[in-house]
Structure 1
């Protein structure tokens, strides 16, 4: 093959510069966009829907939970007056169900196309992969791979369909990091929802960790090849966020540490959806902390208002580069451990009480 390099290779593999989250953006840039989101009936997915609808986007929610999805749409219609918010029943593990959802989204779209697809649907539950069966059984029972079905296969289906419909978005132009987000409504954007489990292992959740690692691998691959098709691909990786998806057992295991807030996840995702200049970047969302960067590049937890400090819940993990992300992981874990130490036994006790209440059915929405 020699040293031949296609002329368009450099142009094809394009990535915008690292995101400076201290620079403001306008949530109003989502106005006029049609956004399709899977799993938007609850959790921070519902937070996305509310926020984008409040700022004038048309939003189609695909979710398996008809009761919650329908109730959310009715509430948004009543509270915001935005009637371009719709619920479509969808089982993301079923190919035809997703096809039907995309077709319905195009039909419901005010301009007949889809600007952003958010592959948000995901589940977490007790994972028995490491405990296949009773040792006295004649042979192991077939494992329940529902977590992989939803969090991996479902995302692959969503991605495949997004690549078909995003390029058919009428009036849209190929993605461009020099675009003007304030005036660019017609977009071609795929937002993948990973997790901190995309970057680091989750000891008692092998399926969840495997699926979210797969989402990271998907992002890294698509990031390099989507630009010629005019599609920008971005990723969010929430840490443990205080939503019902965090099971009581998980809450007990991480008791004493701090969890992230839904509003910070919504903020990070909205930045990526609204700002058409952002191509191929990832953001991690964790607990809001005040930090100061030391000379060696690592962060230390400091008091709010200290000179040179920054308060943030959103971080750029450089998820496209393995060397950078490994160093970032070590730094972030040390910071989270510092937060846990600062909260002390009082923080642990409060978290345990909340976990027990949720296990008994109190406080669930």
Structure 2
């Protein structure tokens, strides 16, 4: 596994994907019992991977495990629980013939009414529930922490292993949407995680990429919301195209630090494209400041006890 510093540059998403490198790899997917997660589980299994997936929906999870066979393991997992996620990763190690984890997709997420945004008709405000933030960002951080730990066990000089982390966020991480404080903060936060981790690939070989779906007709949107969107002539992206993007990323070890939009097929022939909005033009002020931070980041240069 080569250790390459992050380099800007968009990925051509129209080319055919060679899935041969995925065969035999150990994959972990959160939120894998339905929607995009389920499509991801099916896609990686079809490519010959060993897949361990977690979800709070035990009924669908167990049904999917039974359907797909011995290469698949379902674990009941609430991503806000460190203990649940740890158990899921341990199960993945046990499920893998090589006792490792190569690819992780942090997919679990929710949406819905946001009490943090609501203005109440009361004398004193009530403390808002932050469940959306807990699942959509804190849960992802737990997944990333665990993935980095177990990735580090994979030998760097063995091309049959990988250290690939994919976070399934949202195009909300690139766009303005009123009324969804927690969801929007979480998706921008996921983008921040990716931009942080991509800069240390040259040190630890861990590469990270992001997928950002447009509207997709999964259970994250209630039937009422889906009907409302359709009444506004919104065309939905396909859940299976998110899974296809994950395969594209996982199959090519040179893809690092990129964000991919999952969109309707009339916007992109394969249903996804490289967004190309995570870098600055050479010489502009933010590019110059970025260069200073990369050369002086004390979190890498200064001992932890001295920070």
Structures share a fold, TM > 0.5?
yes
| CA distance in 1 between partners of 2:163 and 2:184 (Å) | 28
Shift of 1:93: 0.5
Give, in angstroms, the shift of residue 312 of structure 1: 4.7
Picking from 135, 142, 163, the partner of 1:188 is 163
Q: Does 1:241 align with 2:216?
A: yes
Tell me which residue corresponds to 1:128: 115
- Residues matched between the structures, number: 278
Partner of 2:78: 91
Compute the displacement of 1:61 (Å).
0.4
Q: How does 1:345-356 map to 2 (within 5 A)?
A: none
CA RMSD of superposed structures (Å): 2.1
Note the C-alpha offset of 1:172.
4.8
Matched-pair contact (CA < 8 Å) for 2:27–2:102: yes
Give the alignment of 1:158-173 within 5 angstroms: 158-169=143-154, 171-173=155-157
SS for the counterpart of 2:27 is: strand
Instruction: Specify the structure having the higher radius of gyration (Cα).
Output: 1
CA distance in 2, matches of 1:250, 1:28: 39
The 5-angstrom pairing of residues 175-254 of structure 1 reads: 184-251=159-226, 252-253=228-229
Pair 265,129 (structure 1): closer, same or farther in 2 beyond 3 Å: same
Shift of 1:322: 5.6
Q: 1:289 to 1:312 in 2, by over 3 A?
A: farther
In the superposition, the TM-score normalised over structure 2's length comes to: 0.84
How much has 1:15 moved relative to structure 2? 3.0
Alignment of 1:281 onto 2:266: no
Question: Does the Cα contact within 8 Å between 1:260 and 1:286 map onto a contact in 2?
Answer: yes
Asked if 1:141 is matched to 2:99, the reply is no
Query: In 2, distance between residues paired with 1:287 and 1:71?
Result: 29
Structure 1 residue 132, shift from structure 2 partner? 4.3
Deviation at 1:104, TM superposition (A): 2.0
Structure 1: which 5+ runs fail to align? 1-10, 78-82, 175-183, 291-309, 325-365
Output the CA distance in 2 between the equivalents of 1:323 and 1:65. Answer: 44
* Structure 1 runs of 4+ with >3 Å offset: 171-174
Q: RCO higher in 1 or 2 (8 Å CA, sep ≥ 6)?
A: 2
